[in-house]
Structure 1
Amino acid sequence: MATKKGKEKATPKSTARRGTKRVLVAEPSSTAVKPSTKRIKRIIKVDEKEKAFPAKDTARFTNRYCEQMFPILAERNYNNEYLLLLPTRIAEFVEPQIERRQWDFLQRQPRQVNLSWVVEFYSNFHLPTLQSVYVRQKQVPIIEEAIQRALDLPPAPEGLDAFQEASLKRQTYQFDWDAVLRVIALPGSRWIYGYYRSRPKRISASTLTLAARVWAQIMSHYVFSSTHESSFTADMAVLLWCILIDQPLNLPRHIRNAMGHVQIAGNLPFPALVSDLVSAAGVSYRAGDTKAVLPRDDQYVPNGKYIRPPAATTSQPTEPVEDIPSSTPQAPTTNQLLHQILERLDQQERKAKLRERRNKR
Structure 2
Amino acid sequence: MKRTLLIITILIFSSSLLFAQEVKKDSLNKSLLKEENATQFKVMPFFSYNRNLKFMFGAIPMLMYKLDKQDSISPKSLSGAAGVYTTNGSHFVSVFNRLFLKEDKWRIIFFGLTGNHTSQFFMDDFQNGSFYDYNSNTTIVTAGIKRRLLNNIFFGLNYTYSHYYTVYEDEVLPNETTSTNALEYNISIDTRNDVYYPNKGNQVRVKWVNLPEWFGNDFTSNKIKTEYNQYFSAREGEDVFAARYAGNFGLGDIVFEQQEVLGGKDIRGYSEGKYRGDGLIAFQGEYRYNFHPKMGLVGFAGLATIYGSDNPDFDWNIYPGGGIGYRYRAFKDVKFNIGLDAAVGKDDWGIYFRIGEAF
TM over 0.5: no
TM-score range, shorter chain: under 0.3
Higher helix share: 1
**Could you say which structure has the greater relative contact order, defined with CA pairs below 8 angstroms and 6 or more residues apart?**
1
- TM-score between the two structures when normalised by the length of structure 1: 0.24
